[in-house]
């Protein structure tokens, strides 16, 4: 287990958010975090640079081009964006330093199609995620641990979801994976795939928290075009989604799921 986590006083946290990538926590849970950042920890998993000998596969090259970043500046830029986003949210955060799928198993995860399916049986992220969750269950006894529901079926999200599903149900909640959850019918398809009965809860927040979330998401400048088509479109999509969930003229909400 990474020293970054084992050195923390995990017992002082009430909420721990597992973010597979640099941006997932802000995208999916930024409103809830903004409401109560104290005693809250964001753990981002896939934050390591690819090994120097890495030969980038076709999808990695495609992503780098979408982000407008050269391979040797991807991590530096994205880590700086993440630091800015976490500062805007005012939350404690730590980066584990594991490899993203496209760098971790470049021969297996070599296309967009191969990235959006069940993880490879020998994918090390599955074991790493289980070990991390075991540590958190033991050393953060007061904390609810928030993991991705796996909407969109990204292998990194699914590996974390599957590890979390095996944990004591009273310690785990699953969040809607944004931006995948913005697609009509995506949540329903994912729930049908899971099979395990889950019950939804809404986490309400006000306009100030919404604006904090939007500002945190906007800090990931390299991702805005690929995810939303730009910052203005992001603000509109995020606002509409959370307003629709809340079903209130003045309120907003994110959704989490618990095992029944």
User: Based on C-alpha coordinates, what's the Rg of the chain?
Assistant: 17
What is the pLDDT at residue 3? 58
What is the pLDDT at residue 249? 72
DSSP code string of the chain: --HHHHTS-GGG-SEEEEESSTTHHHHHHHHHHHH--TTEEEEEEE-PPPPTT----HHHHHHHHHHT--GGGHHHHHHHHHHHHHHHHT-EEEEEEEPPHHHHSTTTS-SHHHHSSPPPTT-HHHHHHHHHHHHHHHH-TT-EEEEE--TT--HHHHHHHHHHHTS-GGGEEEE--TTGGGSTTHHHHHHHHH-S-EEEEEEEE-HHHHHHHHHHHHT-GGGHHHHHSSHHHHHHHHHHHHHHHHTSSS-EEEEEEEE-
Q: Quick check: 4 pLDDT over 80?
A: no
What is the pLDDT at residue 7? 87
pTM of the model: 0.96
Q: What phi and psi, each to the nearest 5 degrees, are found at residue 148?
A: -65, 145
Tens of pLDDT, residue by residue over 82-139, are 999 999 999 999 999 999 999 999 999 999 999 999 999 999 999 999 999 999 999 9
Q: What is the mean pLDDT of the chain?
A: 95
Confidence of residue 250 (pLDDT cuts 50, 70, 90): confident
CATH no., domain 3-259: 3.40.50.10320
Contact at 8 Å (CB) between 42 and 93? Answer: yes
Q: Quick check: 2 pLDDT over 60?
A: no
Contact at 8 Å (CB) between 168 and 128? Answer: no
- Residue extents of the structural domains in the chain: 3-259
């Amino acid at each position: 287990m990474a020293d970054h986590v084992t050195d923390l006083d995990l017992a002082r946290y009430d909420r721990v958010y597992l973010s597979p990538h640099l941006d997932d926590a802000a995208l999916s849970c930024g409103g809830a975090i903004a409401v109560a950042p104290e005693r809250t920890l964001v753990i981002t998993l896939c934050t390591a640079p690819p090994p120097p000998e890495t030969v980038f596969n076709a999808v990695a090259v495609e992503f780098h081009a979408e982000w407008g970043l050269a391979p040797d500046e991807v991590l530096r830029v994205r880590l700086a964006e993440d630091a800015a986003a976490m500062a805007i949210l005012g939350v404690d955060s730590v980066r584990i330093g594991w490899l993203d799928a496209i760098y971790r198993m470049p021969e297996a995860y070599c296309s967009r199609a191969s990235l959006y399916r069940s993880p490879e049986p020998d994918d090390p992220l599955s074991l790493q995620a289980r070990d991390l969750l075991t540590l958190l269950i033991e050393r953060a006894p007061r904390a609810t641990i928030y993991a991705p529901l796996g909407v969109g079926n990204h292998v990194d999200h699914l590996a974390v979801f599957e590890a979390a599903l095996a944990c004591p149900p009273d310690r785990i909640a699953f969040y809607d994976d944004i931006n995948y959850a913005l697609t009509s019918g995506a949540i329903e398809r994912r729930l049908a795939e899971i099979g395990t009965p889950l019950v939804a809860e809404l986490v309400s927040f006000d306009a100030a928290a919404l604006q904090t979330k939007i500002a945190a998401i906007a800090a990931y400048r390299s991702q805005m075009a690929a995810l939303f088509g730009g910052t203005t479109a992001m603000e509109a999509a995020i606002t509409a989604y959370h307003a629709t969930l809340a079903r209130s003229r003045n309120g907003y909400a994110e959704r989490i799921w618990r095992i029944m």
